[in-house]
Amino acid sequence: MPLSNEQSVSLWLHDLRQGEDSAAGKVWDRYFQKLVRLAQGHLRNSEKRVEDEEDVALSVLQSLCEGAAADRFHHIDNREELWVLLATMTHRKCVNRIRRNVALKRGGGKVVGEADLAKPSDSSQFGLNDFESSAPTAETLAILQEDYERLMQTLRNDEMRTIATLKMNGYSTLEIAEQAKMSERSVRRKLNLIRDTWIDEVDADV
Amino acid sequence: MSFHGLIWMKTRLEQRNQIDELCDRFEESWPVSATKVAGELLQKIDEGGRPELLCELITIHRERCLKSKTEFLIEDFRALLPNDSVDFDQLQARFRTDDLRDAATATKQGSSCLSEMTSQLSLGDRIDSYELKELLGQGGMSAVYRATDSRLNREVALKIVASSMADAVPRMQAEARMIASLDHAHIVQVFGTGTWSGGPYLALELVDGGSLDVLLSDELLTARRSAEIVIDIAEAVSAAHESGLIHRDLKPANVLMTTSGVVKLADFGLSRDLNLQSQTISGALLGTPGYMSPEQTTGSRPTTAIDVYGLGGILYACLTGRPPFRGANIPDTLTLIRNEEPVPVRRLAPSTPVDLESICQKCLSKDPLHRYASAADLRDDLAAFLEGRSVKARPVSLWTKALRFSHRNPVVVSLATCLCVALVAGVSGIIVQWQRAESNAVAYQEQFQIAEEKVEAASALQEFMRSVLGAAQAAKTGEKTDISDAIAAALPRVDEAFYEHPEIEAAVRETLGKTLRTLEQATVGIEQYRRSIELYEQVYGRSDFRTLHAIDGLAGIMRSLGNHDQRLEAIELRKFVLSERIRQKGEFHFDSISAMDKLSAALGQVGEFDEVERLTLKAMAALSRLPNGDDRMAESLQYNLAGAYWQQEKLAEARSAFETLIERMSRRIEAADPDSIFRHERIQLCKSKGTLALIVHDLGDVVAAEGLYRELLPEFQELEGLGHRRTLSVHRRLVRLLIERKKFEDALPFAEQLLQQHSAAFGPAAGLTLEVRRYLVSIYQNLKRIDRVEQFLRETVALTVKHREPGHDYIHQAKSELDQFLANRQDVSEALNDGGR
């Protein structure tokens, strides 16, 4: 594992904020699109099974698909947002799982050499390379949902959770402000607070 | 991340959640008494979180004010936290940046929406009754066509505004109607308004000679032409002001010219609406806020004074070809506007007449109060300039010089220097300067006005001053006696010198009274003040601020130099001034607070300290409600309060009050430009420390008292000199305290130095000197330097014999002290001998 995960997340976020042309941005975009497609497929199937309504309401896949269906992800710069944090957290778990499997195959408990993972990473490259090298799978979606619920639990109240959900659905600050009947300033402040709470959680997770 | 780092992160998140929650509560209750609620919410969080919370609350408040189109005043929030815990300038700068960002977004939206609209239009199309002929120009938010009004067969300029501005339609139409009703020759006429494709449009008078900024990019205008243009624009602005319209965006680009050269003001009140919520950044959008007034950069309430400033900006541009301020980028320019003076016109255009430069500078004053009171006043002064009459604006740099000069110098300024300044600056300068001798911000404002009013009758006074000053110059300059002589010689002449000008005589007598007070000549000074007040009353009435100011001066001299009855009269006078100030300006006005401060001083003089305490607390509360506090006033009040506590022997309160005072004064003095601090302010600070030391000593905290004295002594020595009575008093107190604390080794050098100072200052056998000699005896004894004691006591006897008449008490005293010592020593040595056997 990278020496400092905290550094890895913040660098990853930093790279994403650098604009559309950055390698990190492109990788994220590709990954995100894959995630959306996967979620849409999954949701179509699951709808047939008629999920518990409350479950759907709080579903991360719902958020992802609604936003994609309304084409909201194209208008806003979503990269520095909550999705990245969530996906990073989830993705790490998946990668860890792969590492463990590889390690087991190689014969128990041995520390895995870096070459064993598809382009593994030094600390700053962690997110980028890992996202680049592995596509999300159905398992990813399950963990994503789990992580999403957990991250939502770290927020102070339902209002914060609603704002986080709206943001993940791709609404703009102004739209959220109008919907939540508060100033844009407050929406920005809450989103910053949500992001930092989640970064804290993501760091603690690994 | 380290363990501590993690803990910190958690605490930080907890605090941010707490702040967030309090903000939620603010949003819920908004807009009901927002300031009050903010104040209450601030109490609900640790001190460390308060600045951040306050910034958030202000930002939310501002956003909601803008959205609901109510007025946002940051001043309301200033008093909620101690002065420097929130950097309001930085906050304002952030608002500015936010506005720019919002405006950029709005322009981007508007621009794409406008392109969409205009792409649907081709020449020959009609909008209502207007047939489009030619596209004259297209900006971010609007496009202008030459068009024909088919109903009247008249050519108009049709301005189409982006439909993203649809919100502004009703307001634009209302203002357009008002401008149409003005029907002013120098305002671009509005023929009609309407909406098209969701956005508003305006049918405007077609003015086809180009705009002033285009003209100025080719050539500079003559002084005469510049004045003529600004006169016309000032006419237009003045007419609009009378109808309650403020332009807010005066600049050469908004001044259009007809082909025959008639100037017309465009975009009246309309341009602002093109900028959504951000009222002040239209210039910024076009790339230059260089004409923006200082108060607009901080988002204060718009007043007609910003248009007077804008007119000055246009005049400046006419004469120099550039805006008053031009920075490398927008934030730089805004900083320049707030903090710097524009480059003098005559440095850029040396042929400009001084008077015109002065007019321009007066318009561009940072303080709106120093500008022309109205656009009409500016027009009149420009007209006076064109006709070769004298103008009201005076060369500003000389004012400033005179003020800076008197600011640096002690109470009585050398009269010879006054003469020089008087000759250059004219008589108004000298009045201000003399009055300024007793620094008082409020008085200054009023004196400035007095001086301004006197200019036309100046020659008589100037002549008089010259004769007085001439007399002073003949004598040695700079010494009090010479000034007294000059004034004594001048007094009889005042009677006939101003026969026709009682108001000037009043000002002169008031000035003389003030000068006599500093010379400690009570009787003559009081007489001058009384006659000054009589004259002011005749001319302006008893309630006029000039009369009140003189009455206050009279009370001042009576309080500080008068007998007991006069001190009581001083209280009555100041009570009257206070009641007048409150009646005229209300309790929460600086002048009223100042009057409370002064009344306190008078009350303190006769020992009514409980009254002083009550009044001062009231004044402090009032001061805290003023939008811009005043450090010196706050200190003055704090001093009154501390003194009152002390006099009432409330020692603990007195201690903390003095500590607060000293902390404030030190902070201000350290932060200020050394040149701008009066010497007496430093002395005041030292005196306060001295009093604090006494109080601390009385409270039994000898350690703190010693620290204070040690700190204080070198300060006093530097400020007042080694032998000044205040320096010596501190010095003695330090030595006594060291003896009391049995630190004899420490005390010895201080005591020896002290003796030297006393011998020099009062003589070797003066009472105080002998007292110091006793300190030394006690020190030597305790240090077991018995021989030195004997030698010292014999020396004392010799000194008293030499310097005092035979039989003087001091001689007896010195001799008996020596005898006693010798007897004691006898006893001690006998005892020792006895013990030895």
pLDDT digits (tens, 9 = 90+) for B70-128: 777 777 788 888 777 777 777 877 777 677 667 666 666 666 777 777 777 778 888 88
Token pair, residue B427, equals: 């008589």
Angstroms from A184 CA to nearest CA on chain B? 8
8-state DSSP, B211: B
Instruction: Give the per-residue pLDDT at B245.
Output: 80
pLDDT in tens, A59-74: 677 777 777 776 666 6
Average pLDDT over residues B289-309: 80
Is the minimum CB–CB distance between B23 and chain A shorter than 8 Å?
A: yes
Tokens of B191: 């023929």
**Measured distance CA(B278)–CA(B270) in Å, rounded:** 13
Cβ distance B13 to A182 less than 8 Å, yes or no, reads no
Residue-level pLDDT at B697: 87
pLDDT tens column, B459-515: 445 555 555 555 544 444 444 445 566 666 667 767 766 666 787 778 778 877 877
In the three-class reduction of DSSP (H, G, I as helix; E, B as strand; rest coil), residue B352 is classed as coil
Distances (CA, A) of B480 to A44, B560, B729: 100, 18, 25
Residue A205: its H or E element: helix A184-205
B576: pLDDT strictly greater than 90: yes
**DSSP tag of A183:** -
What rounded mean pLDDT belongs to chain B? Answer: 78
Relative to beta strand B190-196, strand B199-205 is antiparallel
Q: Check if the beta carbon of residue B677 is closer than 8 Å to that of residue B665.
A: no
**What local confidence, expressed as pLDDT, does residue B678 receive?**
67
CA atoms within 13 A on the CB side of B427: 20
With CA atoms as reference, the chain B residue closest to A196 would be B13
Span B204-218, average pLDDT: 85
Percent of chain B with pLDDT over 90: 21
Percent of chain B whose predicted confidence (pLDDT) is above 70: 77
| pLDDT level of residue B659 (50, 70, 90 thresholds) | very high
Q: Is the peptide bond before B350 cis (omega within 30 degrees of 0)?
A: no
Which of A63-72, B221-230, B305-314, B719-728 shows the lowest mean pLDDT across its residues?
Answer: A63-72
pLDDT mean over A153-168 = 87
C-alpha span between B616 and B114 (Å, rounded) = 61
Looking at A18-119, list the stretches that DSSP marks H as alpha helix, in order from N- to C-terminal side.
23-49, 53-57, 60-69, 82-107
pTM, two decimals, is 0.43
Best of A182, A188, A193, A203 to disrupt the B interface (most B CBs within 10 Å) is A182
What average pLDDT does range B396-425 have in this prediction? 35
pLDDT tens digit string along B118-145?
777 778 888 888 998 888 877 666 788 8
pLDDT of A24 higher than 80: no
Q: Average pLDDT over chain A, rounded to whole?
A: 68
Which chain B residues are closer than 8 Å to A190 by Cβ? 20
Distance CA B337, CA B327 (A): 9
CB atoms B16 and A193 under 8 Å: yes
Instruction: Record the tokens describing residue B690, joined without a space.
Output: 């001295």
pLDDT confidence of residue A28: 73
**What is the C-alpha to C-alpha distance for residues B381 and B764, in angstroms, rounded to an integer?**
69
Name the DSSP letter for residue B269: T
Quick one: how far is CA B709 from the chain centroid?
A: 33
Interface test with A, best of B2, B29, B63 (most A CBs within 10 A): B63
Pairing of the two strands B255-257 and B142-149? unpaired
Of the partner residues A184, A193, A203, the one whose CB lies closest to the CB of residue B20: A193
**pLDDT score of A101:** 65
Report yes or no: B63 at the A interface, CB cutoff 8 Å: yes
Cα B180 to Cα A200: distance, rounded to the nearest angstrom:
62
The number of residues in chain A equals 206
CB contact under 8 A, B20 and A200: no
Structure-token match 């609007």, residue found: B142
Residues in chain B: 837
Q: What is the mean pLDDT of residues B321-329?
A: 82
B427-436 helix and B415-425 helix, angle to the nearest 10 degrees? 140
Mutate to test the interface with B, among A77, A183, A194 (most CBs of B within 10 A): A183
Interchain pair B27, A183: CB under 8 A: yes
pLDDT tier, B533 (very low <50, low <70, confident <90, very high otherwise): very high
Listed range (A183-187, B53-57, B523-527, B656-660) with the worst mean pLDDT: B523-527
Contact B56 A189 (CB under 8 A): yes
| Amino acid letter, residue B98 | D
CA dist., res. B606 & res. B624, Å (int): 28
CB pairs < 8 Å spanning A and B: 38
CB contact under 8 A, B63 and A185: yes
pLDDT exceeds 60 at position B346 = yes
Output the six-digit token pair for A150: 């957990």
pLDDT in tens, B264-283: 998 765 545 443 333 333 33
For residue range B172-185, list pLDDT tens digits in order.
677 677 777 778 88
More confident residue, A148 or B677: A148
Q: Could you say which DSSP state residue B589 is in?
A: S
Cα B157 from Cα B266, distance rounded (Å): 12
User: Chain B interface, mutation test: which of A5, A155, A186, most B Cβ atoms within 10 Å?
Assistant: A186
Say if residue A8's pLDDT is above 60: no
H, E, C per residue of B501-561? CHHHHHHHHHHHHHHHHHCCCHHHHHHHHHHHHHHHHHHHCCCCHHHHHHHHHHHHHHHHH
Question: For residue A107, what pLDDT is reported?
Answer: 52
- CA distance linking residue B72 with residue B419, whole number of Å: 49
Angle value at C-alpha A60, between A58 and A65, nearest 5 degrees: 110
Burial B500-538 (b: 16+ CB within 10 A, else e): ebebbbbbbbbbbbbbbbbbebbebbbbbbebbbbbbbe
pLDDT at B247: 83
pLDDT at B770: 87
Instruction: For an interface test with A, give the residue of B7, B21, B23 to mutate (most A CBs within 10 A).
Output: B23
| Average pLDDT of the residues in B228-233 | 94
pLDDT in the model for residue B574: 94
Contact B27 A190 (CB under 8 A): no
Whether residue A83 contacts residue A127, with contact meaning beta carbons closer than 8 Å, is answered with no
Is the pLDDT at B517 greater than 80? The verdict is no
Q: Looking at beta carbons, which residues of chain B come within 8 Å of A8?
A: none
What is the secondary structure of B144-185 as a DSSP string?
Answer: EEEEEETTTTEEEEEEEE-GGGGGGHHHHHHHHHHHHHH--T
Contact B23 A189 (CB under 8 A): yes
The predicted pLDDT at position B434 comes to 38
Q: What is the pLDDT of residue B551?
A: 94
For chain B, how are helix, strand and coil distributed in percent, rounded to 5? 70, 5, 25
Rounded alpha-carbon distances, angstroms, from residue B632 to B156, B518, B577, B629, B666: 59, 21, 20, 9, 12
Say which residues have a Cβ less than 8 Å from residue A59's Cβ, sequence separation at least 6: A51, A145
Nearest CA in chain A to B61: A183
Q: What are phi and psi of B439, to 5 degrees?
A: -60, 125
| Nearest-CA distance B149 → chain A (Å) | 41
Note the pLDDT of residue B399: 36
* Closest chain A residue to B68, measured at CA: A183
Q: What is the DSSP string of B19-55?
A: HHHHHHHHHHHTTTTHHHHHHHHHTTS-GGGHHHHHH
Query: What is the predicted pLDDT for the residue at B835?
Result: 52
Say yes or no: B1 contacts chain A, CB-CB below 8 A: yes
Query: How close does chain B come to A59, measured CA to CA in Å?
Result: 25
Query: Residues of B with CB below 8 A from A200's CB?
Result: 9-10, 13
Reduced to 3 states, what is the DSSP secondary structure of residue B299?
A: coil
Spatial CB neighbours of B225, under 8 Å, sequence gap ≥ 6: B318
